[in-house]
Chains A and B, each alone.
Chain A
């Protein structure tokens, strides 16, 4: 090596990498923040997270567990008057069997997040890997997974889940796994595969082959990182899908879940309070609003990420 008179001390590798990572994160954040939509979405999500975090604190301080427990609670002071309209004690009223609606709403946020995020992560992990593999190998492998995806897109999987729940009880975890796996092998695979195809034909893939990379090494090091941004984007949209699916299934009472926003509406419906629409609004509006708002928030974040991921929208 030539002795250089450079004033630069070589930094340790890891330090440089951390710097690079932070730099990239900062740039991407700036792009994300530029589109205000994403920030709004993020704000709403944070709000829900706060709600979720506040629930156990409230339960252990101001809320008497026997009254405010979202599943087993009952307010004896209001016997006979359930469902009670909003009051100081129950800001969003009580449901037909005397439980506090606000407590239910806050408590459920946790399961909604768990479900949405788990399902989305599973589906995107599957979609990314299967998409990359299909694009890279092509041939029979590709054909098999593409037909599978077509099949799934033809077949409404809400119906499939309804059938499944008659065979086994659908708990939250099972539901998350099922939604994740089913949508992972579905449309998202096709989208990520077409993205992977544009990466596969790049000469740097050939260069990696010549350097001695095996198929799996190339998929892992070159193809997956290059479709990752798009995967991440679809993850946001998939959260929306999962939450929505859960709501629909709970509404029809198909799920073995103790409490969720869907179940809140289901309870109202079961006990016949949904008919008089405006009168008992506190039974359905908070849960319905929460579902819509959270889905919308993830959608907005997705749109915001689109500006980061999709170079088309950038300058030049």
Chain B
């Protein structure tokens, strides 16, 4: 049984102009100990998927359908109280721009101690020892516990936030763009740390990013999203070497690099999709070089083109298929 299993998850934000279809029929499974990368265009619904499965949505959001199975329990059927327990011990999350969430007037160590004690009955001493251990784990000097957030650099704050997420040894950690604000050396440190910690604790991780180079370094499997839909899922090497969905192919070819020839940056033609009125049929068809009549009409379903390699496209590319 997979650790996490999303089945047909659908969520929309109600707005005055109509519903924003931010997550549409997303099905995805994760095994214990697995690292899954979630990539996609800005605004395609990556954060929304994470927020939906944790049920941390704003008031105007509405889960329209689907199930979230976590360790054999449907999270969408739990009470708020039970959900809170899951959010702490089962799945924890590092939010996008989480560095800003540290309270400037309390010492960083105290904030984590407080968070731990809210959910576990530990004495102050035990909790502090636990925090020191966590600081070690993410490569921070435990002496820094006594400092205030403004005395931390961005990279240090980010590591403190990750330490907080690890506090109760969750089964699954969701990291939403945890390193975008950091320089590459600090990023390298954190990614290596995360990988180590993950294998040490046999934790699963969902890593959300728009940066496929980072995703390549941390994940074993990749899910590619476009306009609220999951369009391709496969192991990392396959996605990079033999992508089948035209959007994935565009994503891979457009990546700027510091090595090799300076190619002109490939830009997807056309405009980013409007989630208030997504295109009919395949949501990618207005920008797709391979679009045919059927693409404009009917929505492609996620099909296996190889074991462990799913694609939602009428004309999957590569290896002379189609």
**Is A in direct contact with B (CB under 8 Å) within the complex?**
yes
A20 to B17 Cα, complex, angstroms: 11
Q: Given A2-B271, A6-B274, are A316 and B56 also a contact pair (CB < 8 Å)?
A: yes
B184 at the interface (CB under 8 A from A): no
B306: min CB distance to chain A, Å: 37
For residues 273 through 288 of chain B, which have their beta carbon under 8 Å from a beta carbon of chain A? 274, 276-277
- CB-based contact A8/B56 at 8 Å: no
Provide the A1-16 mask, 1 if CB < 8 A to any CB of B, else 0. 0101011100000000
A258 at the interface (CB under 8 A from B): no
Q: Given A19-B16, A23-B16, are A6 and B277 also a contact pair (CB < 8 Å)?
A: yes
Classify the interface of chain A: helix, strand, loop or mixed.
Answer: loop
- CB-based contact B56/A7 at 8 Å: no
A89 to B277 Cα, complex, angstroms: 70
A7 to B276 Cα, complex, angstroms: 10
For residues 1 through 43 of chain A, which have their beta carbon under 8 Å from a beta carbon of chain B? 2, 4, 6-8, 19-20, 23, 27
B293 at the interface (CB under 8 A from A): no
A8 to B20 Cα, complex, angstroms: 14
Instruction: List residues of chain A with CB within 8 A of the CB of B56.
Output: 316
A8 to B274 Cα, complex, angstroms: 11
B59 at the interface (CB under 8 A from A): yes
Classify the interface of chain B: helix, strand, loop or mixed.
Answer: loop
Instruction: List residues of chain A with CB within 8 A of the CB of B16.
Output: 19-20, 23
In chain A, what residue has the closest Cβ to B15? Answer: A23
B145: min CB distance to chain A, Å: 24
Interface size on B, residues (CB 8 A): 8
A312 to B16 Cα, complex, angstroms: 27
In chain B, what residue has the closest Cβ to A314? Answer: B59
- CB-based contact A27/B274 at 8 Å: no
Which among A6, A20, A27 is the interface contact of B59 at CB below 8 angstroms?
A: A27
Instruction: List residues of chain B with CB within 8 A of the CB of A2.
Output: 271
Provide the B10-30 mask, 1 if CB < 8 A to any CB of A, else 0. 000000110000000000000
A24: min CB distance to chain B, Å: 11
Provide the B23-61 mask, 1 if CB < 8 A to any CB of A, else 0. 000000000000000000000000000000000100100
A20 to B130 Cα, complex, angstroms: 47
In chain A, what residue has the closest Cβ to B56? Answer: A316
Instruction: List residues of chain A with CB within 8 A of the CB of B277.
Output: 6-7
For residues 111 through 166 of chain A, which have their beta carbon under 8 Å from a beta carbon of chain B? none
B256: min CB distance to chain A, Å: 25
Instruction: List residues of chain A with CB within 8 A of the CB of B274.
Output: 6
Provide the B47-85 mask, 1 if CB < 8 A to any CB of A, else 0. 000000000100100000000000000000000000000
- CB-based contact B17/A8 at 8 Å: yes
In chain B, what residue has the closest Cβ to A16? Answer: B16
A66: min CB distance to chain B, Å: 58
Instruction: List residues of chain A with CB within 8 A of the CB of B59.
Output: 27
A7 to B277 Cα, complex, angstroms: 8
A29: min CB distance to chain B, Å: 13
A163: min CB distance to chain B, Å: 41
In chain B, what residue has the closest Cβ to A20? Answer: B16
Instruction: List residues of chain B with CB within 8 A of the CB of A4.
Output: 271
Instruction: List residues of chain B with CB within 8 A of the CB of A20.
Output: 16
Provide the B242-284 mask, 1 if CB < 8 A to any CB of A, else 0. 0000000000000000000000000000010010110000000
Provide the B107-145 mask, 1 if CB < 8 A to any CB of A, else 0. 000000000000000000000000000000000000000
A8 to B276 Cα, complex, angstroms: 10
In chain B, what residue has the closest Cβ to A19? Answer: B16
Instruction: List residues of chain A with CB within 8 A of the CB of B17.
Output: 8
B194: min CB distance to chain A, Å: 24
A121: min CB distance to chain B, Å: 31
Instruction: List residues of chain B with CB within 8 A of the CB of A6.
Output: 274, 277
In chain A, what residue has the closest Cβ to B18? Answer: A8
Instruction: List residues of chain B with CB within 8 A of the CB of A7.
Output: 277
A97 to B308 Cα, complex, angstroms: 95
A234 to B208 Cα, complex, angstroms: 43
A19 to B271 Cα, complex, angstroms: 28
For residues 143 through 188 of chain B, which have their beta carbon under 8 Å from a beta carbon of chain A? none
Q: 6 A–B contact pairs at CB < 8 A?
A: A4-B271, A7-B277, A8-B17, A8-B276, A23-B16, A316-B56
- Residues of A with Cβ closer than 8 Å to B? 2, 4, 6-8, 19-20, 23, 27, 316
Besides A7-B277, A8-B17, 10 other A-B contacts (C-beta < 8 A): A2-B271, A4-B271, A6-B274, A6-B277, A8-B276, A19-B16, A20-B16, A23-B16, A27-B59, A316-B56
The 7 closest A-B pairs by CB, nearest first: A7-B277, A19-B16, A316-B56, A8-B17, A6-B274, A23-B16, A6-B277
